[in-house]
Structure 1
Amino acid sequence: MLASIGRGLRSAVLPVLFLAASGYFIWHAVHGERGLIASEQRLQLLADARADLDRARTELEGWERRVQGMRGDRLDRDQLDERARQLLNFVGKDELVIPYGPERRLF
């Protein structure tokens, strides 16, 4: 009887080791550092980074258009000075301020 149990255990050792090794590798293939879940997370991070890059490029193009409008013959310095003073609420010491009503705003 003991001999048959010993033979049964010896014959079960190899399949149990194989199943344990297979389980180890399968678990790491899914959950490991380079597994399926980590791969999905990296792809999501990459998509987020590309979206951020696209937003930054769009903002850069907007700023480049604004700067391009301030170069060369296209720039009217009087209008630029007037607009800067209006936005920043600056006025010269020798200038007269005439307030407009809300319905007659210049800008």
Structure 2
Amino acid sequence: MWTKHHKKRKLGRFVMPLITVAFLSYFGYHSMHGDYGLRATETFDRQSAERQTRLAALVTQRETLEREVALMSDGSLERDMLDEKARFALNMSRADEIVIFH
């Protein structure tokens, strides 16, 4: 009966640890710097906060416009509001008035 005896190589015992280190390094790097990594998450959170403040400003502006439209609707036409909008659009005023635009 013949048996083959292999000599143990010194480099053979480093193959599995090297593969493991390469694997962990690759995924470790991409968990920090990848498209969905920790740095990208910080950027997403910052953009979300900026957009929330912009949304709040736009909601406030929309509510203001809706109140003005409600004052100018057919059922409750306010003469003061209509007069103010007409003067602003035509850029006209009476001789005894002081106009301050803001």
Matches for 1:1-107 after TM superposition, within 5 Å: 7-71=9-73, 72-76=75-79, 80-81=82-83, 83-84=84-85, 86-87=87-88, 88-90=90-92, 99-100=95-96, 105=97, 107=99
C-alpha deviation, 1:21, in angstroms? 0.9
C-alpha distance in 1 between matches for 2:48 and 2:40: 12
C-alpha distance in 2 between matches for 1:32 and 1:84: 53
Indicate the RMSD between aligned Cα atoms, in angstroms.
2.9
C-alpha distance in 2 between matches for 1:52 and 1:67: 23
C-alpha distance in 2 between matches for 1:63 and 1:26: 51
Alignment CA distance shift 1:85-1:44 (3 Å) = closer
Alignment CA distance shift 1:74-1:18 (3 Å) = same
Q: Please say which of residues 49-58 and 6-15 is displaced more in the overlay.
A: 6-15
The superposition leaves residues 44-76 of structure 1 with CA deviations (integer Å, 9 ceiling, x where unpaired) of: 222222222111111000111111122333512
TM-score by length of 2: 0.68
The sequence identity of aligned pairs, in percent, is 30
C-alpha deviation, 1:40, in angstroms? 1.7
Partner of 1:3: none
Greater relative CO (CA pairs within 8 A, separation 6+): 2
